[in-house]
Amino acid sequence: MLRDAVEANRLEEVRRLYEASFPRSEKKPFGFIMKKRKKGFFDVLSIEDGKGRFCGLVIMMLSGGRALLDYLAIAPDSQGTGVGSRTLQELRERYGEERIVVEIESTLGLGGADETKTAMAGNGCMGGADNRLRRKAFYLKNGMVPMDYEVVLFGVEMEVLTFGSELTFEQYHAIYKEVLPRPLAGKIRRRPCRTSGFPGYGQRVCRDPNDQ
C-alpha cells in the first residue's frame, strides 16, 4: 500500500533507505526533493504492508502531466515478496499508466534476456550487468516498453520506458527543465537508438548525435 510520507518518523525511514540504496552520483539532495515537494514537483511515498510496516519508498517527479518514477527502493526484509510488482501496479492506478515514465541504466550491449533508477536496497543501482538486466526484465514483465532513444543523465546512460505511451525526448526533457535548475537540466542529452536481440525488441545501438 502506498501512502504519502508525512509523519516525521516515516519520513526518516524513507530518508535512511534512500541514502542507503542509491549511489551518490544518482541521488538528488533529499532536502532538495522535500523543498520541491512543497511546490508540487515531487511525491514522496512510503510502501507499507497491511499492518502499516515500512516496506520501501517511491519518489515521483511530477511535471507537465507526467509522473517520472525517480526512485523506487524496497527494504531488505521485504525483497523477494512481490512488493515491487504490487507497487508498480498501484502506481498505475494512482497516476494513470499513460503518465508514468521510468528510467533504467542502459542494458544495451549486455546481451541475454532481460527490480529511479530502481534499487532493491543493497542489490540495486550499485550492481553490475546482471542487476541491470533484472531491472529491465522486471519492468518488461510488468508491461513497460522502451523508447527508441537513450539519454545521458548526468553522465549515466539510461533507457526510458513507458506503459506503451509515446514519449519524445523533448517531452521527457521538459520534465527536468521544469523541476531542475537550468544548468543541470541542460546537461541531459539524447542518444538515438537503431534496432540491430533483446527478446521482442531487438538489440539496439545508441549513439550520441554529437559523436557522429
For 98-132, the pLDDT digits (tens) are 999 999 999 887 654 434 455 544 334 445 788 88
Distance CA 47, CA 41 (A): 19
Q: Quick check: 117 and 125 in contact, CB under 8 A?
A: yes
Model confidence at 23: pLDDT above 70: yes
pLDDT in tens, 130-184: 888 988 999 999 999 999 999 999 888 999 999 999 999 999 999 999 999 999 9
Q: H-helix or E-strand containing 17?
A: helix 8-21
Residue with cell 539532495: 29
Alpha-carbon dihedral sign for residues 58, 63, 64, 69: negative
Reported residue count of the chain is 212
What's the average model confidence in pLDDT over 34-52?
Answer: 96
Amino acid 117: pLDDT: 55
pLDDT in tens, 25-37: 889 999 999 999 9
In which band, very low, low, confident or very high, does the pLDDT at 199 lie, cut at 50, 70 and 90? very low
Distance CA 187, CA 190 (A): 10
Average pLDDT taken over every residue of the chain:
85
In which band, very low, low, confident or very high, does the pLDDT at 86 lie, cut at 50, 70 and 90? very high
pTM: 0.82
Q: Quick check: 18 and 59 in contact, CB under 8 A?
A: yes
Q: What is the 3-state secondary structure (H, E, C) of 54-119?
A: EEEEEEEEEECCEEEEEEEEECHHHCCCCHHHHHHHHHHHHHCHHHEEEEEECCCCCCCCCCCCEE
Cell of 94: 494512482
CATH class, range 2-211: alpha beta
Model confidence at 212: pLDDT above 70: no
Cell of 80: 523477494
Strands 100-105 and 118-119: unpaired
